[in-house]
Each structure stands twice: as C-alpha cells, then as structure tokens.
Amino acid sequence: MAIIIAANIWGKGMIKIIPILLGVAGSYLVALIANACGATAVNASGEVTPLMDFAAVSASKLVGLQQFVIAKFDLTAILVMAPIAVAAMMEHIGDMSAISATVGSNFIEDPGLHRTLIGDGIATSLAGLFGGPANTTYGENTGVLVLSRVYDPKVVRLAALYAVVLSFSPAFAAVVNSIPPAIIGGVSFILYGMISAIGVRNVVENRVDFTNSRNLIIAAVILVCGLGFSDGLTFSIGSAHITLTSLAIAALAGIFLNAVLPGKDYEFGTDVTDGRSGDFGRY
C-alpha cells in the first residue's frame, strides 16, 4: 500500500500511471526476501506456514488447456446462481455511475445503461452455457482508473486479451496464488477505498439533500443492509439453498424504498433541487 501511495503521489510519467503494478511487484519482491529469510505466516486454522509456498508453481505446466465439461440443466443450480446474477447487475449499475463520475462522461446515456446491461447479460448467459458463474464488473477497477487516469477503452481491450492468453498458463495462475494475503489486502485498501470515496463524491456533486427525510431514510437503510448483512441472507426453496449477498440486499432495499416512499425522485438531465436524488445527467 505504501508503494502505491508513493508512486501515485510523487511518481512522474510511467511510474504515476502504473502504481498498482509497482505496488504488487515491489511488495512481492519484499515478500520473496522475507520468505528466503525464514519468515512465516499463520493461516486461518492457526497453523504456522511459510510466508510463500511455491509447491504449486513447480508442479504446474507453463501452458495448459482448461477442463471443459458439457453443461446440463439443473434447476437447483439455477436457483443458487440467479441471486448472484442479480447482485452482479446491481454492481454493474453502481460501477457505471462511478466510472461516469471518474471519466467525466455520461455512460448511463451514451452508450446507455440498457446497452451495457444487455451486454453483461449476454456475457453471463454465455458463461452459463460453459458452466461458469455470473460475470461481475469488478468494481475495484474503478479505483485503478482513478489512480492511473488511463481511460482509453483500447487499453482495457488489450488487458482483456492478455487475460485470455494468460488464462491458458497454469504456472502463471500458481504464481498469482502465491501472492501473500497481506499484499492483496494492501491493494484492496486502496482500490475499494477509492470506490467508496467516488460514491461519496457522487453524492456531493449531485447535491443530494440529506435534510430531506426520504433521502436520509433510503441512504440509512442501504448502508445498514450493506454493512450489516456481511454474510448475506440465506434461505431455502425446496432442496436449494439460496444466498443473497449484502450488495444485492442493499440494492433491492434501496430500489424498493425509492419506489414506495412518497416524494420526488430525480430526473435525468435536470437540475437537482427540492431534495431530489442524484442527477447523473450532468456528467
């Protein structure tokens, strides 16, 4: 985390553009040195283990194909995965809002939230045909945009191509899995913190009136649901056990309250007054 902050605040040129990569690489190098010096870690079971374990790396092939299976219809699996798809849809909407604020372009109108959601839905459907889970937009990448200030879609497409190529390397996957949790935690501090900060900035820039009881109640319920249901909400339908994540619960609660509570809601392309909610049309 310290490397990321230093590179982003005091770095120049390319260093300022790739603070996340420098942070991970620099921390990994420090972890290698500490591991060579005999540093240990305590796992979730309380066992003392080496800081880094390269057994999986040495046993992995440099190039390998994924194990594909023929998908089959299973109602239980569908009921289990459907709430995850709903949560991913809510995350998609939030990420589009955050990215619009970060980049300074209104992606909710152009290309349009309806188009991006359709694209996400088609991708999730294709993933399901191959036995994969629902796709997610990975909101932490919004933090990467804030830090790097690289907004060109060509860069994202190139990164996607790299990801596809590297997915056929079990050895690379094993190296990534060898990264100590402390490094991932440090990076997550910055990235997820950026997402929260962008959300607060959206509220401020859109002049949401929190003296209005309606807005205050909706925001309070969303926050409590998001933080309080950290383990999600599990219920059963027949033999299927379905879990709604805290994100899905908070989003559904906010949508429900916004629909049933009396008062004015925001309108795209209008000024925000009279206690209305945010107005993404101003981006």
Report the DSSP pairing between strands 240-244 and 233-237.
Answer: antiparallel
Q: Taking all residues of the chain, what is their mean pLDDT, rounded to a whole number?
A: 82
Question: Contact at 8 Å (CB) between 183 and 34?
Answer: no
Q: For the segment 237-258, what is each residue's pLDDT rounded down to a tens digit?
A: 667 677 777 878 888 888 889 8
Give yes or no for residue 277 having a pLDDT over 50: no
pTM (two decimals): 0.69
> Which three-class secondary structure state does DSSP give residue 31?
helix
Residue type, 251: A
> Which three-class secondary structure state does DSSP give residue 4?
helix
Residue 280 — pLDDT band, cuts 50, 70, 90?
very low
Q: For the segment 106-156, what is each residue's pLDDT rounded down to a tens digit?
A: 888 888 888 999 998 898 888 888 777 788 887 778 888 888 888 888 988
Q: In sequence order, what DSSP letters do the residues of 200-240 get, joined into one string?
A: HHHHHHTT--TTSHHHHHHHHHHHHHHHH-TT-EEEEETTE
Q: Which residues, in sequence order, are bridge partners of residue 236?
A: 241
Q: What is the pLDDT of residue 266?
A: 53
Question: Contact at 8 Å (CB) between 195 and 143?
Answer: yes
Q: In sequence order, what DSSP letters do the residues of 110-148 get, joined into one string?
A: IIIHHHHHHHHHHHHHHHHHTT-------THHHHHHHHH
> Which three-class secondary structure state does DSSP give residue 244?
strand
> What integer is the mean pLDDT of 5-17?
84
Q: What is the pLDDT of residue 165?
A: 92
Q: For the segment 35-84, what is each residue's pLDDT rounded down to a tens digit?
A: 888 888 877 777 788 888 888 888 888 888 877 777 777 777 777 777 77
Domain residue limits, the chain = 2-205
**Interacting residues of 230 by C-beta distance below 8 A, sequence separation 6+:** 246
